[in-house]
Every structure is written in C-alpha cells, then in structure tokens.
Chains A and B, each alone.
Chain A
Amino acid sequence: MPPPPAIDLSHVSKTYKGKVQALRDVSIRIHQGEVFGLLGPNGAGKSTLVKILMTVIRPTRASGTVLGAPVGDKATLARVGYLPEHHKFPEYLTGAQVLDFYGAMSKMPRAQRLSRAAELLDTVGMTAWAASPVKSYSKGMRQRLGIAQALMHSPDLVVLDEPTDGVDPVGRRDIRGMVQRMRDEGKTVLLNSHLLSELEMVCDRVGIMVKGKVTSIGTLDELTLGQDFYIIEYLDPQPAAHIVSLLPGLTVEPRPAGAFAGAPRDDGVELSGRWDTGVWVRLLAQSMHVGTADLATVWRVVDWLRRDGIMIKSVRQSRPTLEDLFIQAVTDPTTGKALTPGAMDAKKVGAAS
C-alpha cells in the first residue's frame, strides 16, 4: 500500500476581502519524499496556497490533509518547516539565537536545540557568523539562515518560498544541494520559485499555477509528453513557399494553439502546415520544425529536401524546457499574448461563468 500523500488538497479557494479571487478550486497532491516545484507568474496564487498550508492565511474553502492531519491543524506544524518569502528575523538576535528561538517555537527541547543549531549552522556554512547579530547579515546569509531555521526541528515536510531569492550563483548551488540532501533524507519539499532552471534541476514534479488555478501538474517528462519535435537546419536560407512545394501532401494553414507548444515563439516563421497524419511543420528561412518524435517521418522529410539538392546542416531533437512550459501556461492560446499578471477579480470571474 503506497504511503499517504504529504499534502493532499482539494477544492481550495481563497477570496480576499477586496473580492480578489486568489485561489480557485485548487486541488493538488504531493507525495511523500518528493521535491515538488510550484511555479507561476506573479499573483498566480502560489504564496497564498503556501500560506494557507502554513495557517498564515485562512482559506475561504479548503479540504484535505497535510501530513495526514486536516489543513490548518496547528499541532501538525511541528512537523513542517517553512521559509517564507521576504522573511524577517528579529534584528537583535544572533544567528544561533534565531535558530534557538524558532526551534523552541516548534517545541524542541533545549538540549536538542543547541546541538541541532550547531549542526545546521555548519551545514549552511554560517558557523563563523553564529554569534553575529542578524542585522549584520547579507541577503544571502539571511537566506541560508532561513533554510537552517526551516530545518531546525527536523521536519517531515519543508516548504521553501523563493529560497534562492537574492542569492548569488554559488549560494544557489549550495541551496540546491541542500534541497537534494533533504530529498535523500526522505523529506518532502515544496519549492515555490520563479527560477525555473533551479526547479528543473531539483524537482521531481512541478505544478504550474495561473490566475489561482493549477493548470498542469506532473513530472517534466509527463508535461512535455507529445511536445518533442525535430529541427532540420539548412546550410543556406530557403524560401518557405519553395519548401512547401517539396513536401507532398502538406496543407498550408495557420498553426493551431498547442502545436509546437514548447518551441521558440513564432518570430521568423514564414509558413506552417499539416499533413493528414496530424504532423505539423513550421517553416523558417534557415530551418524547419517537424512536430513529431517519430524519426522515420523526419528522415522522409530530409530525403525530400535533399532530393531537391538542399544541403542539410543539422537535424536535432528538441523538447520543451520548464521555461517553455511556463511561457506556454501563461500565454493566451487564442491571442498568443502573455496573460495579464495578477489574481482574478471575483466579480469578473462570476460574470464570466
């Protein structure tokens, strides 16, 4: 029997007093021991969702569990570590005192706190600064200390909201290493970040939130399934109309939403078309994109081109990155333009529905 999920939320909604609908019927399940990345544009509702989990915000409606207890159960928070975005520690405390204080607030006995604080300060590379007041810390040092306080009480679930915010590349690498160690220790990590490359490197699964809703969720493979395509690059520029004439059975028509979702934007695309088999192509001056993972189809296209004497520079497979998926998620499929950032106005939502 599989272990129960670390987070199992269903129908979470939050409408603020100003009638701003931050979350709209969000359902999400995060498995034990996985690193889950939550991404989305500003105002998508990521922080609201995290704050509801941490009881900082009261949901308008929510059901589900966190570590097996109902959402909002205070006792469970003793098993959850949290690093808020833009966290602020009391300036008068030293690094060691910060860990001791928040450890005590998580009900850790004093003897454990002392040894654990020393261990974590060492882990985050802050031992030398343990006795210095927080007000003398740089942004990166505060972030490291923040991660240490989130881990102070050895939680089963760690929620990190923008952990690499303001951290230099070396610091980011270190934080990535810490997240990987958390996974190795069997902890569940919920990572909320704008840095998609960071998420891509450490997350087992990701969820994309747009305007208060989870639009897609899964592993990177699952999310990019069916979106692989091949790029055939010519040695010399070729007119799109000429290429169309070389591809038998191709019907020229505008590319529908969804096709080549992970490909670069349409800048430079001269024509697009489709075969009866459902395979799409995009024609650019220097290359063409063939929307299939089937190599045989690709080689057939290459043969047609070479038969006309077109020199092929390269053929390579391409798959969407997390950033591509993100862009795809926040792009209006009908207009092709980026959606307006921010949460939904409840009145507008009501009118639309």
Chain B
Amino acid sequence: MTQTLALLLDAYRELHSKKLFWITMLLSGLVVVSFGCVGITEHGVSVLVWEIPVEFFNSRVMSPATFYKLLFANLGISFWLAWIGIVLALISTAGMFPDFLANGSIDLMLSRPIGRWRLFFTKYFMGLLFVTLQVGVFSLASMLIIGIRGHSWEPSVLLAVPLVGLMFSYLFCVCTLLGILTRSTIAALLLTILFWVFLFGLHTTNQVFVQLREHTAARIEVMQQRIQKMERGTALMLDKRAAAEKPPADASGSAAEPKPAPVTYTAAQLDEANALLPVIRTKLVAEQKDLRTWKRWTLGLGVARAALPKTAETVELLHNSLIKPQDISRFKAPNEDEDPGLGRDDDDIHISGRQMRQRMDELSRAEPLSWIMGTSLGFEVVVVLIAGVIFSRRDF
C-alpha cells in the first residue's frame, strides 16, 4: 500500500509539474464558463445579456435542461473532451513510459521490493489519472451549470468520467505498448494518433456504409409499400373492369345468387394492367441488389472492427444516455426534410434527413453495450498484456 500511495503521489506530482495539465484544466474551465454564459429563451439563444432569435431552436422546442445537456454532449464531450482533451492528454502522458524506462530511472524503480507486473499496472493506471481528473472536474462543473441554469440536476453527466476515461484508455494502452517498444515519446505519440486516425477513418467509413445501407433499406420499404398500394389499386381497377364487362343477371334469380369470391390476380396480370408496376419492380430488384452489397460491406467492416476499440461508439453511449429521443422530438432543423444526399434522387422516392437521423439514432441505441465495451476492453486487455509481458521480461 505504501508503494502504491507513493506511486499515486508521484503521478500527481508529475501531472502537477506539467504545464499542459494546467493549460488543459484552464481551457476546460473556459469551456464550462462559456456554457454558463449561453442560455435558451422563448425566442432563441442568449449569450450573456444578448439574445439571438432562432426560429427552430428555442425553449418552446426543447427545455433548458435538454439544451444544456445537448451542449454538454455535443460540444463538451464529443468535441472538447473526446477530441481536443484526448489529444492534450496523449501529449501529456505519452512520455510517461519512455521516461520511466530511461536508463538510470528504471534501474531505481526495478531495484525496489516491488514486482514488475505490479509496477507496470500501477504506472499504467496512474497514466489514466490525467483524463480522469480532467473529465471529473469538467463533468462536475457541467453538472452544476446544468443544475443552476437548466434547473435540472443530472448525475448522469458524471458518466462522462468512466466513459471518456475508457475511451482514453483504449488509446493509452496503444501508447504504452509503443512507448515500451520504442522508448520514444514522439514515436509513441505519433503512432498512437495515427492509430486513432485509422480508427476514426474505419468508423466513418462504416457509418457511411451503414447510412447507405439504411437509406437503401428505407427506399426498399417505401417501394414495397408503394408496390402493395399500386397492386391494390390495380386489382380494384381490374375488379371494376371485370364487373363492368360481366353481363347483367336475371332479375328473378338475382337475390338467390351468391356473392362472387374476390379474384386474385397474378403479378403478371397486374403488371400488364399497370405499366408503372414493372418499372418500380425492376427498381426494387436493383435496390435489393444494392442492399445486399451494402450489407456485405458493413458485415466485412464489422468483422474488421470487431477486434478494434470503439472510441466513437463509447462516446456515443454517453450521448445516448444523456439525450433521449423524446427530449428532442419537437426539434426540427431547417433542412431536415431534404434528402440527406445519399444519391438515388432520380425518382420520386424521398427519404428525408430526419428519417435517416432517426434510423441511425435507433441503430446506435440498439447497439449492445456488451459489443461496444466488450470488444474494446478485450482489445485493451490484449494490448496491455503484451506491453506487460514485454516490460516484465525485458533487460534494462
């Protein structure tokens, strides 16, 4: 325990000595203060004493609490903590292991009555302290802002601490492994950022493919509905035509004659009767073919991403836990009715941006926690174990 406390104190002193730690803390404070300066009114958004009228963004569309939560989730977490904050944290902690392993420094640590594995894990978890402290302070201050300004106390905001911490840990484990392998801060930092960019690229590609898949699926659904509607209409038209062509029955026997059974038409009969039906059916087949292609691609990417950490999805978990669909159900952005621009707008089948957002949001919320966290933590465990084995077996 004495050794663990000493390492904890040392990690704090190391952070304390880094200017970047305090710069990040100061910037976090500024972000929180700027949250406090922004508000939502009946007519739009207020900044300090000034009011900016926004038609689609005011307290009639969403509550102040939702507004602050949106600010916290979209700017505070997704932008500030999950991007800039993480980059600053990586810069601050990338040198932790290379410095620790430097000649003359590691000798002093390894020659103590402490096992290499314990030393490694303690040091590793101390590295996570940077982000934990930063996010902790930021989240607590944001919770106060949401409580005071939005009149809603949201302890779920504090979920940012473990979730952003986890996201950082996926990158920090890579940074640690690279730091141990190369013993170079610059190499560890640059390669980790490269890995992060790779993850981001993979995630973005996957999102694009999923969006294309869902767009195609939505078009297929609309087409199928349209075909059903057209088939019903065509059948009715054929029924009417048949009824008109049928000779009139005897006046004496008409009362006793049973009602004729409804006629079932074949697709060919319907297509013959309605020239638009074969056209839309051909389009449907083409869309179904496209859907199978997108499904193959998303499956392939899913398999490729299975073994990798889900940084973006981990942050989305926080977003999803903070913002419920009903919170923003009345919110409608000005261009939401437009097609999201995914192509295939050569016909009158229209999938709006709002529809796509809802679909993607549902998919994001339906993604199992065990998949996001399990695979990411699995990756982290493997990387940390590899780093630990190298550390414990290396000669210094």
Please count the residue pairs between chain A and chain B whose beta carbons lie under 8 angstroms apart in the complex: 88
Q: Within the complex, which residue of A74, A84, A101 is in contact with B6, where a contact is CB–CB below 8 Å?
A: A101
Confirm or deny: A104 has a beta carbon within 8 angstroms of a beta carbon on chain B: yes
Query: Which residues 76-124 in B have Cβ within 8 Å of A in the complex?
Result: 102-115
A319 CA / B3 CA spacing, docked (Å): 51
Assess the B102–A88 pair: CB atoms within 8 A.
yes
- Chain B residues lying within 8 Å of A175, measured Cβ to Cβ, are none
* Range class of the A interface residue count: 35 or more
Name the residue on A nearest B118 (C-beta): A74
Minimum CB–CB distance from B366 to chain A (whole Å) comes to 48
Report if B282 contacts A (CB, 8 A): no
Which residues of B lie under 8 Å from residue A89 when comparing CB positions?
Answer: 105, 108
Asked if A88 meets B103 with Cβ closer than 8 Å, knowing A77-B111, A105-B109, the reply is yes
Name, among B105, B106, B109, the residue most crowded by chain A CB atoms within 10 Å (CB to CB): B105
B393 touches A58 (CB 8 A): yes
**Closest beta carbon of chain A to B328's beta carbon, Å:** 46
- In the complex, what distance in Å separates the CA atom of A57 from the CA atom of B116? 12
- A179 contacts B by Cβ under 8 Å: no
How many Å from the CB of B156 to the closest CB on chain A?
36
CA distance A108 to B103 in the complex (A): 25
Task: List A contacts of B112 (CB < 8 A).
Answer: 77-78, 102, 105-106
The answer on a CB contact under 8 Å between A56 and B395 is yes
**CB-defined interface of A56-98 with B at 8 Å, one 1/0 digit per residue?**
1110000000000000001111101010111111111100010
Contacts of B393 in A (CB 8 A): 58
- One of A55, A78, A86, A149 near B103 (C-beta < 8 A): A86
Taken together as a complex, chains A and B put the C-alpha atoms of A135 and B296 apart, in Å, by: 59
CA distance in complex: A167, B7 (Å): 30
A156 to B200, CA, bound (A): 55
- Closest chain A residue, CB of each to CB of B100: A90
Main secondary structure of the interface of A (DSSP, over half): loop
Q: How far is the CA of A75 from the CA of B3 in the complex (A)?
A: 13
Contact residues in A for B7 (Cβ distance below 8 Å): 105
Q: Contacts A57-B395, A77-B111 given; indicate if A88 touches B6 (C-beta within 8 A).
A: no
A56 partner, pick from B3, B10, B110, beta carbons under 8 A: B110
Q: Are B102 and A90 in contact (CB under 8 A)?
A: no
B17: interface (CB < 8 Å): yes
Residue A183 at the chain B interface, CB threshold 8 Å: no
Contact of B113 among A56, A93, A107 (CB under 8 A): A107
Task: Tell me, rounded to whole Å, the shortest Cβ–Cβ distance linking B394 to chain A.
Answer: 9
Contact A87 B107 (CB under 8 A): yes
Verify if B396 is at the interface (C-beta below 8 Å from A): yes
A16 at the interface (CB under 8 A from B): yes
Contacts of B395 in A (CB 8 A): 16, 51, 56-58
Asked, given contacts A58-B395, A97-B13, whether A104 binds B108 with beta carbons under 8 Å apart, the answer is: no
Report B201-224 CB contacts with A as 1/0, cut-off 8 Å.
000000000000000000000000
- The chain A residue with its CB closest to the CB of B106 is A56
Q: Does A232 contact B (CB under 8 A)?
A: no
* B: contact size bracket: 20 to 34
Give Cα distance in the complex from A77 to B114, angstroms: 9
Q: Is A109 an interface residue (CB 8 A)?
A: yes
Q: Considering the chains assembled together, what is the distance between the CA atoms of A103 and B390 in angstroms?
A: 27
With a cutoff of 8 Å between Cβ atoms, the chain B residues found around residue A92 in the complex are 13-14, 16-17
Contact between B105 and A88 (Cβ–Cβ < 8 Å)? yes
- A342–B120 Cα distance when bound, in Å, is 32
Q: Is A54 in contact with chain B by the CB < 8 A criterion?
A: yes
Least Cβ–Cβ distance between B396 and chain A, in angstroms: 5
Contacts of B102 in A (CB 8 A): 88
Whether the Cβ atoms of B114 and A74 lie closer than 8 Å is: yes
Contact check, B2 vs A84: say whether CB atoms are below 8 A apart. Answer: no
Contacts of B105 in A (CB 8 A): 87-90
Of the candidates A56, A78, A89, A149, the one having the most CB atoms from chain B within 10 angstroms of its own CB is A56
Which partner residue on chain A sits nearest B395 by CB separation? Answer: A57
Closest to A93 in B: B13
Query: Shortest beta-carbon distance, B273 to chain A, in Å?
Result: 82
CA distance A80 to B113 in the complex (A): 9
B5 contacts the other chain (Cβ, under 8 Å)?
Answer: yes
A89 and B7 CA atoms in complex are apart in Å by 14
- Contact, CB under 8 Å: B2 / A55: no
Are B6 and A56 neighbours in the complex by a CB distance under 8 Å? Answer: no
Please name 10 further chain A to chain B contacts, defined as beta carbons within 8 Å, in addition to the given A77-B113, A78-B113, A91-B17, sorted by A numbering: A16-B395, A51-B107, A57-B396, A58-B393, A74-B113, A89-B105, A90-B10, A93-B10, A105-B6, A106-B112
Residues of A near any B CB (own CB < 8 A): 16, 51, 54-58, 74-78, 80, 82, 84-93, 97, 100-102, 104-110, 149
A/B interface sample: 10 pairs, CB < 8 A: A56-B110, A56-B396, A58-B395, A75-B113, A90-B10, A91-B17, A92-B14, A92-B16, A105-B3, A105-B112
**Closest 5 CB pairs between A and B?**
A92-B17, A104-B6, A88-B104, A84-B107, A54-B111
